Structure 1
């Protein structure tokens, strides 16, 4: 397992990572000595029972939370001790996010939401970037919705806008947190197909937290967490295989008498 930042193909990496909340008897260890890397051009699903630490791992890797101990890299750059301003710049320029709740700005139209990361970073997109965004709108079926605001779109269309926004800056990695959680089954599968296409066609790297075995079956690699530790690191699996693995982890959590935040 990769635990140092030397491998060029790793777009995100953590080593000896621990995260604790609270103190004394109230202390909860959300992550416990985790070392893992996310490879370039790979679709990785992160799964585990409720309270296993999967969302905490994603937040720490994305610079949204800080570890109690251990180290975090984005590519070859260690971000563990960066200040808030530097982390904010890094997230805008090198990380894309897709959330369950879409997180679109209601007063901006589709194009405005997609261009928002550039404006927040004080960057004026050049002609080539704007042409690429137009092509992205077309490929996601949004070309005729560019002037619509979020309330004029379906849930699936709003998530497509969120995906376009995440892809627009050509980030090193996209972190997706339950991206199909607010969608119906058919629309959810379409969104997963779009993420899968971003990996296959442009070599995008995606790390997705999900509880859905069908969603995870779209991934090249599946990390299973339990009690703050990675307990299995698998390649592509069928929904049935994933469900069986998850059931075993949940039974183990019940037998162990506890869980982590």
Structure 2
């Protein structure tokens, strides 16, 4: 199985490098005394070939930030960019089309279609777009399925697969059309520790080997230790960003955030 490559040194953020970015983003829910400030002036960029972990205590805004990056929600103020397109003000139809074409998703619950076999689930993004993969895309997908250890499982339905195999199918589906951005929401939450490590290595390798930009929300310091960069949120703000960190150091920093609440 492919393993993660060491993170490469990165230069200062430049807009032209960013696959996805938010600039001065705020998100509020409710009004008056019931207003909740989920995000307060957040800046963040995710670059091609970079695996970014987003962490923070419960209520810090990390899920809201992921939803904005993925076009699943719109900001109250500020800008959200995917490549060279500002997406924050797009309507629902435009956002749906954009997500299908440019964003891949990996969720904790796998979200596979139970009536489709492995290859059917992997090809689903093409089906939803009404597109057929090119010969070059089919070659890439075949290589990807081999790397993920799924080549002999193509005719199996989700119920016939282990949890780890189902998550690998979800990763293959997310990567198959080579989207600009892959967002992962607690992707190891339903996996045992060994399988979780395998999945994290695969995500890291997708960034390093296939040039994917990956943003992962997690509460798990071990999961975050696989990322090239760890972004910490608290009370809707980015309070720290670090390069690759070991799990123990991440856990200590998270404790300081919890203690400060």
The interval holding the TM-score normalised by the smaller chain is: over 0.9
TM-score, normalised via structure 1 length: 0.94
- SS of the residue aligned with 1:64? coil
Deviates more, 1:100-109 or 1:198-207: 198-207
Q: CA deviation at 1:197?
A: 1.0
TM-score, normalised via structure 2 length: 0.94
Structure 2 CA distance for aligned equivalents of residues 11 and 128 of structure 1: 23
- SS of the residue aligned with 1:249? helix
Aligned: 1:97 with 2:124: no
For 1:140, the equivalent position in structure 2 comes to 148
- After superposition, the C-alpha distances for 1:27-67 in whole angstroms (9 at most, x for unaligned) are 11000111111122111000000110000000011100111
Aligned: 1:176 with 2:184: yes
Q: CA deviation at 1:131?
A: 2.1
Superposition RMSD in Å = 1.0
Within 5 A, what are the aligned runs for 1:230-241? 230-241=238-249
Tell me how many residue pairs correspond in the alignment: 250
Q: CA deviation at 1:129?
A: 1.6
For 1:221, the equivalent position in structure 2 comes to 229
For 1:112, the equivalent position in structure 2 comes to 120
For 2:7, the equivalent position in structure 1 comes to none
- For structure 2, the 5+ residue unaligned runs are 1-11
User: Which residue, out of 40, 50, 53, partners 2:48?
Assistant: 40
Asked whether the equivalents of residues 21 and 44 of structure 2 are also in contact (C-alpha less than 8 Å), the reply is yes
Within 5 A, what are the aligned runs for 1:180-199? 180-199=188-207
- SS of the residue aligned with 1:144? coil
Structure 1 CA distance for aligned equivalents of residues 146 and 246 of structure 2: 31
For 1:259, the equivalent position in structure 2 comes to none
Structure 2 CA distance for aligned equivalents of residues 183 and 44 of structure 1: 20
Structure 2 CA distance for aligned equivalents of residues 47 and 7 of structure 1: 23
- SS of the residue aligned with 2:53? strand
Runs of 4 or more, structure 1, over 6 Å off, are none
Structure 2 CA distance for aligned equivalents of residues 239 and 132 of structure 1: 33
